[in-house]
Structure 1
């Protein structure tokens, strides 16, 4: 008996053996830093979304979306599902214990009974069943590690959905502000066109303006009315888009948009090294998936070795229910078994080859994710630098266009220039005012996309310390 217990202890100790290959993170196939002209900083911390977005109304919308958005809810439930799967796989390491109770009564007819009379037999039992597969070569632990990594990958997928949600809410909100501003610009331009039409109509009645000039003035008014209807539609559709992202009716937004010239977002840190990409959820998700595939190789290797299972049962049995637990009614059984793979027609080798191919595929996907992330950040850094110049130039052009319009209007009223010159000045001013709004919107969206590309936006306040996820 002592020798048997010693053997079991040795087998259990050997259960720590693992055939999972040592994991080595693939080298990032990108440069150490971006070509922005800034020296790489040793700090890679990013601010949370509450600190990045300065508009209180936008902060309120983001908080509502994080609470109610259905896509984020599905991603969170997927994490819980993978947590449960990991719990199932983790339980395989431990012995399985069940308690069963059985009872039966049987009547035998006289011709089947030993005697000449019919008889009734009874049997009752209470049993504790124990079964345990000894994980000598790490098959079960490899599958447990695979399930753990898949759970962690699903959590990073949830973070990715959250970051995308924060960015989408911000971009939709800024688009609504821009369309609202464009609507206001169009309303003011329409008023100007209508005043010019009234002036041209009076000049036409006294024979100063031609019918061509009157037709041009009417055309300008109708064109502005077309744009007015278009921007009213855009504003309404922007609100509908916000409602879909929030998962509930959007709160009442102000009738007049906030000025896009205000400081709407914080400045994203410059000079960050490319290692900051490792905190992006899609990169972490790809790495966890790579680790899961790496663990599956250990399980595929362990399948080549014997599997040993221990099954035992013990309890009490009696033909009388009252005597089920009386002295002498005890019984037990112990059934160890071993399964040694001999001939599987190459199935085990094919399974191992498949796992290794999937790992190589996952490595390529991981490297591709890093390259995509690097490009997104590089594009965002270039956009940030160039949009500053573009918006500044567009505002300078606006000042020039306003001077041109004032001069053309004065010269038209005094009869020096024709209406064609005034119409050209009006159209140019309208287009430039639109350009100022759309360029500012593009600048804000590029800042949000850069913040998203760097992996920001998945926490509200200060960044938490590097976590060790708990399953």
Structure 2
């Protein structure tokens, strides 16, 4: 007869408990100290191999070594900013405190396995059976109150659940740290890109302001039409609007980075106007292997598995409630009917009592608790499987971007080269009278849009590499 069968029999027939003393004794003698089901990691509901791009599939090892963030972020400036953020970020601080709280709770649970011993002085008054007078009895000594002998592993299972929660909270701390490092790197890269875009737009706005002055002068002299003047004014206001938008976006990027860093970011750690172009060299290549088992080492997946282990242990706690609880109460010290000679020799006394309590009728409370514990375990299984599937999807998305972002970036660079040449030729033709002002301005507008697209594409490729490092667990 298995533990599950015993639990079901007791829960459906409370009278069985009164007839099961022989079975209970046999279980105790057999060393059945835990009624929790054995924890087993559920099979990962994802393919066994990661969907590597063609450029990596042929040469990728079965499993690749992890990359610590100081090795991934090779820029001293960015490394210093990450260190500062790890020291000051409040979310990470909360995650660390959650670990400490779980450890303290584990200490409380472990303490329940040992008796609690106290010292005390008491006075009890009761009538004398023969005289009817009140008789006082004074006692002083050590006391052990209602210490539970863990026959069926209830307290041990509570300890296992608390230990699993400690491991889960530690995995949560590592997950928070991983997200913080990736967030700081992504925020810094976004700030670098918007700083470059803002600087480019400022130059364009200054150039178009000069063009506007020239167009106004030519219009006043009758050498330019109203159409050319309005076109120059339109381009100038577009540049001003774009400059205001990018200034706002850069300020918001800085605010977000300040929040992640836990305080103001030193000016020497902020990216300059040309940092975006070289930011890709600040990120080391991310090693990728074929096996999807690497995802099981992600902190969020480990956290979900430990929460499943805690739910498993709670089933043992719920099962133990069906069986009797044995508690011991004892005291030892001095006892006397007179307070004056309480501590005199010859007044030592001790008491010990045991209590074995079993539930005969509880209106289905224990069975409902057991059902709830089992359902919580099933929920934890589903959450674990979802965390693995989410990890696989995030990794697959990042891997899909490795080749495509590089191809898009290369094509965007070629397009920018062509746009620059077009703008140069249009300027020459305009100066020689072979092209109109509208053709010249259109070429400049196309060049600006292509420059902005290149910066955005470069940022997308960099952010994808940061994401790949993060989703692989660092």
* Unmatched 5+ stretches in structure 1: 1-9, 109-113, 457-471
Tell me the equivalent position of 1:153: 168
Cα distance, 1:121–1:23 mapped onto 2, change above 3 Å: closer
1:70 aligns with 2:85: no
Shift of 1:156: 1.1
Rounded Cα–Cα distance in structure 2 between residues aligned with 1:33 and 1:270:
11
User: Which has more helix, going by share of residues?
Assistant: 2
What pairs with 1:190-209 in structure 2 (closer than 5 Å)? 190-209=205-224
Kept in 1, the 8 Å contact 2:63–2:294? The answer is: no
Shift of 1:12: 9.5
What pairs with 1:71-220 in structure 2 (closer than 5 Å)? 71-102=91-122, 124-130=138-144, 131-220=146-235
Kept in 1, the 8 Å contact 2:125–2:135? The answer is: yes
Tell me the equivalent position of 1:468: none
Cα distance, 1:158–1:63 mapped onto 2, change above 3 Å: same
Rounded Cα–Cα distance in structure 1 between residues aligned with 2:30 and 2:352:
21
Rounded Cα–Cα distance in structure 2 between residues aligned with 1:181 and 1:102:
80
Question: How does the TM-score come out when normalised to structure 1?
Answer: 0.87
Query: SS in structure 1 opposite 2:205?
Result: helix
Tell me the equivalent position of 2:456: 438
Rounded Cα–Cα distance in structure 2 between residues aligned with 1:65 and 1:139:
43
Shift of 1:13: 8.1
- Pick from 364, 370, 385 the counterpart of residue 352 of structure 1: 370
Q: Deviations over 1:70-100 (max 9, x none)?
A: 1111111111111111111111111221111
Cα distance, 1:202–1:438 mapped onto 2, change above 3 Å: same
- Pick from 307, 331, 335 the counterpart of residue 317 of structure 1: 335
What pairs with 1:364-443 in structure 2 (closer than 5 Å)? 364-443=382-461
Kept in 1, the 8 Å contact 2:199–2:273? The answer is: no
What pairs with 1:242-281 in structure 2 (closer than 5 Å)? 242-253=257-268, 256-262=272-278, 263-281=281-299
Cα distance, 1:22–1:82 mapped onto 2, change above 3 Å: same
Query: SS in structure 1 opposite 2:267?
Result: coil
Cα distance, 1:12–1:328 mapped onto 2, change above 3 Å: farther
Kept in 2, the 8 Å contact 1:34–1:274? The answer is: yes
Q: What is the CA RMSD across the aligned residues, in angstroms? A: 2.5
Query: SS in structure 2 opposite 1:261?
Result: helix
Tell me the equivalent position of 2:254: 239
Tell me the equivalent position of 1:42: 62
Rounded Cα–Cα distance in structure 2 between residues aligned with 1:220 and 1:353:
70
1:33 aligns with 2:49: yes
Question: How does the TM-score come out when normalised to structure 2?
Answer: 0.87
Shift of 1:104: 8.8
Shift of 1:318: 2.9
Greater alpha carbon shift after TM alignment, 259-268 vs 431-440: 259-268
Rounded Cα–Cα distance in structure 2 between residues aligned with 1:176 and 1:435:
16
1:56 aligns with 2:76: yes
* Unmatched 5+ stretches in structure 2: 1-25
Rounded Cα–Cα distance in structure 2 between residues aligned with 1:247 and 1:319:
67
Q: How many residues align?
A: 439
